[in-house]
Structure 1
Amino acid sequence: MRTRVTYPYEIKMKAVQLRLEGVPCKVVMEELNIRNKTQIETWLRWYKQGEFHRFKQPVGKQYTYGKGPEYETDFQRLEMENKFLKQQIEVLKKYEGIGKEVVGQAAVELVELLKVDIPIKRICMYLGIPRSTYYRWKWKSINPNSKHKLEQRIGELCKTNKYRYGYRKITALIRMEQVVNQKVVQRIMQKYGWQCRVKVKKRKKTGQPYHVADNLLNRNFTANKPLEKLVTDITYLPFGNKQLYLSSILDVYNGEIIAFTIDSKQDTTLVLDTLSQLGDIPVGCILHSDQGSVYTSADYQKAIKGKGITMSMSRKGTPADNACIESFHASLKSETFYLDRLTCTTTAIVEQTVRDYISYYNNIRIQTKLNNQSPINYRKLVG
């Protein structure tokens, strides 16, 4: 049977002091020759609960008895309370990255916890802060329009949208709840590094120079009604077990993806499948693309004419002529695969990620040019 070890009062208090200063349990045990880590945790719990009388009690059943006299004199009680509160606030200040606002919040929580037994004036005196400062911190913590609450809300919105939004869109979302200045939102996002993630810039291959149609779109990316101007393109999806390709068609009117196809082959069948998803097309509809071989092929041109669509093509080596669809494909990759580091995954996950993002892009993701509405919501509101 193991012999029960008794530790003197000085050892117990020294162990508690070291733990409050952030010294690891293992180091405390080695330095003070303490056998059990649980023993140190018990002493620390007593100290935080103000049960100082237990440190001088012997081992055994006495621990379960009544509290008994906590302090020999009032001076001893005040001295222990003072030491306890000062150590608490010092520990809070030692956390890396903690600022005045966080210390203020911690002080308010500490006062709220102890004010049942100790007057607020005395607690503030122990903490070394004026009582007016405590009430100011408390007012900020409960005021819904305080800077702290605003920072929390901005952080929640940035995290919810996976840091895809810049300060303008975050401001638009905040303004649905309260009045806020755009520059204030910008400063807060810069302070905590919540800005929109920078897109990885890539230059798309220009394709074949074979001329089939003029550049009728001429970078005029505005439309007065749905299905008036469409743009299409193919992008690579090199994130799975095999190379995949995404062919998509975007309506310039509201930026909605109205058709898309994912396949492992970049051939005419890929673009024909995407084109077949279009329903009734109004007269005069323009479909713009680059001069890739799939778009200049005879089968594709025949399908375009069969739907009564007017074909438009970018100039050679000028991806900016098709900027709308280029921007969408860049957003898709930067806000999913690059942001979530899905650069090496399965083919099924790649396909599902693209489908989920297109649904999110059409139904949820707001756009500044659409008066901070999603493409489908904008079409419903205006239409």
Structure 2
Amino acid sequence: MFSYDERIKAVKLLIQYDLSYSTVIRELGYPSKQSLRNWYNEYFRNGDLHQDYVRESIFSEEEKQRAVNYYLEHGRSVSRTVKKLGYPSRPVLDKWILDIAPEKKKHCRSGGSTVKYSREQKEQAVISLCSRDKPAKEVATEHGTTRESLYNWKSQLLKGERIYSMNKNKSDKLKGNLSIDVDVSELRAVKDDLLSQVDELQKEVYRLKIERDIYEKAAEIIKKDQGINLKTLTNREKAIIINALREVYPLKELLEMMCMAKSSYCYQVKTINFDKYTDLRMKVKKIFKESARRYGYRRIHSVLKTLGTTVSEKVIRRIMREENLVVPNTKRKRYSSYKGEISPEVENIINRKFHADKPNHKWLTDITEFHIPAGKIYLSPIIDCFDGLPVSWTIGTSPSAELVNTMLDEAILSLREDEKPIIHSDRGSHYRWPGWIERMEKAELTRSMSKKGCSPDNSACEGFFGRLKNEMFYGYSWAGVTISEFIEELDKYIRWYAEKRIKISLGGMSPLDYRRSLGLAV
């Protein structure tokens, strides 16, 4: 219930604001629109408002204060407060808040201006919709409207429906909204015009599609370095492009796009199918066969020149490529230490289980090659599976037995008497020669070998080589670097790898620091 002063204040403010109900409610925070309209009608009829007895509230001041405090302390939500306390109604709580803490009342603002589109804007939007090559939602976004409104405009313009224009002037709200009928014949004329524009746009799109395919096929077949220009193409080149696209487009449309007469096209097709090098092909194949497939295009060209036939070397090379006349050639093999089964094979004990619970339990070894302008360098390391520490390594210019045997001798010297690691390698000859086997047996070490040609069996050692080359070899210029200088750089990197290069798997420590943290003697 509102007092007489509150009601008369609202009515006078409504008259002052030219009967703008929303402005009065937003400023005062009360009442509802219907209540304000009833008060205004009563004031307009009687010149004043009635003064009835306002009954006493059923809620005590303590209950009112409790409700307002809960509202302020729990996010200022009227509905949440009413739901939690079970009293009062939301309008009553709003009144209590205005009475006790008016400055902290949260008001909801609504309304706003609506975008008004002109008829020309609607027509342009409908044209874009009818000629689109993308979803209607994207077209609507470009024109600042919704997909539903866009289709409504299309129905109104193309099906002769009525278009209503809304006048939102505040002074005319009490009088109602005015509507304007659009002449059906005018809409039909607009429809015909739009359909003709759509048809023209579709033809233009089809023409551009043909032109695009012609340029793509020309770039694929002609392959000119300076780009493709349809006006500068020869009739032969045009005929080749048309032949490639005849299964997709009609011949008449292709000839029109290429600006070529049909008689010229037919003539070029006959010349394309005629091979002027028929006799030359027979001579080239005969010479190649008589040479027992040993002559390349240069020697065949020389033989033809001796026989009195003048032709370009490029023509000979093209004919040999088309006729698949290839001189047999053996490719150079990359370095491999495998020399056959020169000693009995050894079981793969490691079997790709590269984890070790303690140092000097599982060792891996292999040889890798570095090729620089000054020559070739070979690295042979032993890697401990416990933490990836390079136990020992040798660097040389030859993958000899001395390279791996020296490395093994240095590694054995670092072992204690109770340490007998498993040494895993590939099936290279270095690890099957008597020198290697004798050293292994004397130190009571266990041999383990990968399967033939199976690099994953020694992937942990291969991973060390990959990290090494990525970090210090690949991407660097070694021109002007001597072999001695490179060996020094490689040795320096391996020492840095063992002493300072951190590994995430070791908790951000280097292999040596990791062993020190475990109290292991290094």
Question: TM-score, normalised to structure 1's length?
Answer: 0.45
Which gives a bigger RCO, structure 1 or 2 (Cα 8 Å, sep 6+)? Answer: 1
Question: TM-score, normalised to structure 2's length?
Answer: 0.33
